[in-house]
Amino acid sequence: MYTTKGFKGVALAMGGVMLAGCAGNQYLDAPVPPESVSRSTTFDGRWNGIVGPLYRWRTLNSAHAVGKAIVCDDYKDNISLDVAQGNISIRVGSDPVYELTAQADENGYFYQSMPAGRQGLKSTAIWVTGQLSAAEAQGQVGFGPTGYSRGCLGAFVASRSDGNLLPEPVENPFTTDYYFIDVIERD
């Protein structure tokens, strides 16, 4: 089970992911092509960790949303990755659980997206991108309106477990809920 002391380390690592993410996207933005999928067992096993938001709101990058910002729900929830020869089953959240499948390349990079239902009149998508290494898995979880290049973005850090670790109690469940606000510029 994760401890408060352990979460402080995760929070620091997530801060590092956030700072690195601001400098540029170090993760993939498209699925790994079939010819590049790793068949190595280097990353095999179960990875358990925590996912949380990087920010609460941000402006949208869309001609249809000029002067608008997306406001994202706050959350801290579990994420798990089951890896077997480059194939990854990803579980984000606890209630509901969002399940995605992805493939990793030889360097442990992966990406996948999928529809996540509807939010009002708009369809919503969720995506997970990251990298596995010998010590940890880290990456980003995003969601937002389908077709927008920006949405709500969170970060995760996970470590390989022996399969006996129980998920941490959830403070705020992961959700793909969001809403829009008008951004007003002041003179």
Per-residue pLDDT tens for 91-135?
999 888 999 999 999 999 999 999 888 766 678 899 999 999 988
Q: Looking at residue 126, which CATH number applies to its domain?
A: 2.40.128
Mean pLDDT of the chain: 80
Q: Which residues pair with 118 in a beta bridge?
A: 123
Task: Note the pLDDT tens digit of each residue in 42-53.
Answer: 999 999 999 999
**Residue reference for tokens 């670790």:** 165
pTM score, whole prediction: 0.78
Among 99, 105, 94, 127, smallest CA distance to 32 is for: 105
Structural domain includes residue 68: yes
What's the total number of domains in the chain? 1
| Cβ count within 10 A of residue 118 | 11
Structural domain includes residue 187: no
Structural domain includes residue 67: yes
Residue with more model confidence, 16 or 27: 27
Structural domain includes residue 114: yes
Structural domain includes residue 96: yes
Structural domain includes residue 161: yes
Question: Whole domain around residue 49: which residue ranges?
Answer: 4-182
Q: How far apart are CA 62 and CA 93, in angstroms?
A: 28
Q: How far apart are CA 59 and CA 66, in angstroms?
A: 9
Structural domain includes residue 37: yes
